[in-house]
Chain A
Amino acid sequence: MDWNNLPWDKIFIVLTALIAGPGVIVGVIVPAIGQMVVASAGLKAIARQPEAGDRINTIVLLSLAMLESLAIYVLAVILILIFANPMLKYIIGE
């Protein structure tokens, strides 16, 4: 097989797309599970102690924001992969 004559640029782009899809799937599911745990724990805490609702609300939102940023990192990486891949110019050429 002649490795040098394969269409590496097309292979590279296809590989990027193939990685981006599962990457988004994994990167959304895992923080979603974390947010689920936080939200259910917050609900239980408010149901047990409704008078502490304000403080619990703030802390739950804070934790959700922290977990949300993990999903956002995935989104940023995937966007860079698809729209602004820094490696692409080495593959395709100047």
Chain B
Amino acid sequence: MQKINNHRNLILLIVLLVALIGFSQLLEGPAGTAEEPDIAGELTPHVIFTVGPLEVTSTVVNTWAMMLLLGVGAYLLGRDLKLRPGPVQNLLEWFIEAIEGLIRQMMDVQDTTLFLPIVGTLAIFIGSANLIGLIPHLKSPTPDINTPLAMALVVFFSVPYFGVRMRGLGGYLKHYVEPTFLMLPVEIASELARTFSLTFRLFGNILGEEIIISILFIVMPFFVPVPMMLFSIFTGLLQAYIFTLLTCVYIGGAIKAHA
């Protein structure tokens, strides 16, 4: 009975995936209408439909498809958690413990319940956003500059939030002027610059990978892009890890008493 239940979850996920692929193909129009291979047109997001003045691009549609997949997957997997975990639950617990270890190591805190939601969510979101481009007809949201910028802005605003929450407003503002008042412009400039660099690191890495894969597809569509796509799995996961690590470092710098 348990076996059947597990398989049913898997089948539900696969059916959802196929439905998403069909849906995105429906939105993009029938395949084979493109006359010429066009790298820039392939990589830039295009408007799918408009709601009033808002233009809904393919990035938004892909992001929502990914969120639907993640949400339904999380619901199905979290529905029957057991004391004696199966392989999937083991994997999830390993992931959560890895994130907790990262937080403990980089922030020097023992209680991770405050930081685990935002750090874990960023890791899962960016990791799956980088990987979802490997599914046919779905495209990664990360090569669009808006997605990494939104992620970096989340980090930019959560740093003062956690700083004020852990050390109080005065304590947080004091670290701008330590050791001397002259450090104030430098600190502000570094906060802005690291947001910029978080954005462009994620954006540039994934976009560069996608450009190389597109060029290989144009030059030689059969089998040649496959090693590069395998490498893009590694790059995507590594970039998600680095983004998570830097988030931990920045938040840790804000909450430490003597930073």
* Chain A residues close to B by CB (< 8 Å): 54-55, 58, 61-62, 65-66, 68-69, 72-73, 75-76, 79, 83
Contacts and interface: CB of A to CB of B under 8 A. Distances in A.
Interface of B: 40, 105-106, 197, 200-201, 203-205, 207-208, 241-242, 245-246, 249
A75 B207 CA distance: 10
Question: Interface residues of B: mostly helix, strand, loop or mixed?
Answer: helix
Contacts of A61: 241-242, 245
Contacts of A75: 204, 207-208
A61 B106 CA distance: 13
Nearest to B239: A65
Question: Interface residues of A: mostly helix, strand, loop or mixed?
Answer: helix
A68 B201 contact: yes
A73 B249 CA distance: 22
Nearest to B197: A69
Given A58-B245, A61-B241, A72-B200, 9 more contacts: A54-B105, A58-B106, A61-B245, A62-B245, A65-B245, A68-B201, A72-B205, A73-B204, A79-B207
B204 A72 contact: yes
Task: Kindly name the residue among A54, A72, A79 whose own CB sees the greatest number of chain B CB atoms within 10 A.
Answer: A72
Contact of B200 (A54, A62, A66, A69): A69
Contact of B105 (A58, A69, A76, A79): A58
Nearest to A68: B201
A36 to B, nearest CB: 18
A50 B205 CA distance: 31
Nearest to A72: B204
22 contacts: A54-B105, A55-B105, A58-B105, A61-B241, A61-B245, A62-B245, A65-B242, A66-B197, A68-B205, A69-B197, A69-B200, A69-B204, A72-B200, A72-B201, A72-B205, A73-B200, A73-B204, A75-B207, A76-B200, A76-B203, A76-B204, A83-B40
